[in-house]
């Protein structure tokens, strides 16, 4: 029973972490989080009913549920696996951005840390764009820009630090 409980919580938690760290798309994390969270909620509700009916203790179910929600919530709310990969790759990303800004962009596609850059460009007002997913409907990737207002038509914008943002154009 305990292994079953652990797997019920581990599979969605691993999935949300993988989406954040392997797929490297924090936007997809926020979209998929409610769907991945639904399964453990349903199963936990059934297990609590079963446990109460059999007069067994709820401590292990409640403990697993709390650990799951803290972990799952932290990934869904902050995309910390994606942010960790960004910070581990930041020096490479900065070097590539400096090359683009100097007018000597690397030949695409190229890797910066764990990220694959498909398109690199310098937009107006000195905005350096390192696109991980160039798409005619709206590019996705990293931009280096000082300031709050980004001079691009954005669908989403995730502030990674004072200079770097992960954006999806509209």
Domain layout of the chain by residue ranges: 2-78, 88-169
DSSP letters spanning 9-72: HHHHHHHHHHHHHTS--HHHHHHHHHHHHHHHHHHHHHHHHHHHHTT---HHHHHHHHHHHHHH
Res 2: pLDDT: 66
**Residue ranges in the chain whose pLDDT is less than 70:** 1-2, 5, 147-151
Res 97: pLDDT: 95
Read off the DSSP letter of residue 149. Answer: S
Kindly list the distances between the CA atom of residue 18 and the CA atoms of 10, 11, 28, 76, 150, in Å, as whole numbers in the listed order: 12, 10, 11, 12, 29
The helix or strand, by DSSP H or E, that contains position 168, with its residue range, turns out to be strand 164-169
**How many other CB atoms are there within 10 angstroms of residue 133's CB atom?**
14
């Amino acid at each position: 029973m305990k292994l079953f409980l652990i797997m019920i919580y581990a599979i969605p938690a691993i999935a949300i972490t993988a989406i954040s760290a392997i797929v490297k798309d924090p936007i997809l994390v926020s979209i998929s989080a409610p769907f991945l969270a639904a399964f453990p909620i349903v199963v936990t509700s059934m297990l609590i009913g079963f446990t109460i009916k059999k007069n067994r203790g709820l401590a292990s179910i409640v403990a697993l549920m709390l650990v799951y929600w803290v972990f799952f919530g932290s990934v869904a709310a902050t995309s910390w696996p994606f942010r960790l990969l960004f910070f581990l790759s930041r020096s490479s990303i900065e070097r590539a951005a400096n090359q683009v800004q100097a007018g000597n962009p690397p030949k695409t596609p190229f890797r910066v840390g764990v990220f694959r850059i498909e398109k690199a460009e310098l937009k107006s007002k000195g905005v350096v764009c390192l696109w991980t997913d160039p798409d005619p409907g709206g590019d996705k990737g990293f931009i280096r820009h000082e300031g709050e207002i980004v001079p691009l038509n954005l669908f989403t914008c995730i502030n990674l630090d004072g200079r770097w943002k992960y954006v999806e154009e509209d």
